[in-house]
Amino acid sequence: MATQTTLLKLFDRHIEGMKQRIGVDRSPRTLPNHIYARGAVAEFIKKKFNASDLAFGQLSEQFIRDFQDFVLQDKGLAVDGFKNKILSKIMAFTMIQLINKLNNRNINNLKTSID
């Protein structure tokens, strides 16, 4: 049985991929932003859901709205930079999984959406 893809596991894979691309097509200055964002998402999941991670099947448009509120109110961050960089990634991941689910595709494999 395949393990379920979760938001933070995907974030970890993304960060590992970023590390491998530093000096190729990514600047070393971008990595701390992604690591910070991963920490903010983990903190939000713990606070809102009392969980260590969430499966993509648990994500919704409301999750994105609640996370944005958390970032703006609890973390005190400006929406422009954070929204453009991180919320767009989370929204894209969530939308891909929703499309996969609606098309009866495996929602635990993001590559399914690229085929």
Q: What pLDDT is attached to residue 86?
A: 67
State whether the Cα torsion 105-108-110-111 is positive or negative. negative
Q: What pLDDT is attached to residue 49?
A: 94
Number of other residues whose CB lies within 10 A of the CB of residue 102: 9
Contact between 96 and 103 under an 8 Å Cβ cutoff? The reply is no
Distance in angstroms (rounded) separating the CA atoms of residues 115 and 44: 32
Per run of 10 residues, the mean pLDDT along the chain (length 115 residues) is 75 86 84 86 94 86 83 75 64 68 63 37
Q: What pLDDT is attached to residue 81?
A: 64
Distance in angstroms (rounded) separating the CA atoms of residues 31 and 26: 8
For the whole prediction, is pTM greater than 0.75?
no
Distance in angstroms (rounded) separating the CA atoms of residues 38 and 61: 19
Q: What are phi and psi of 53, to 5 degrees?
A: -165, 165
Distance in angstroms (rounded) separating the CA atoms of residues 71 and 95: 20
Question: Domain segments of the chain: what residues?
Answer: 7-113
Q: What pLDDT is attached to residue 112?
A: 37
Q: What pLDDT is attached to residue 44?
A: 93
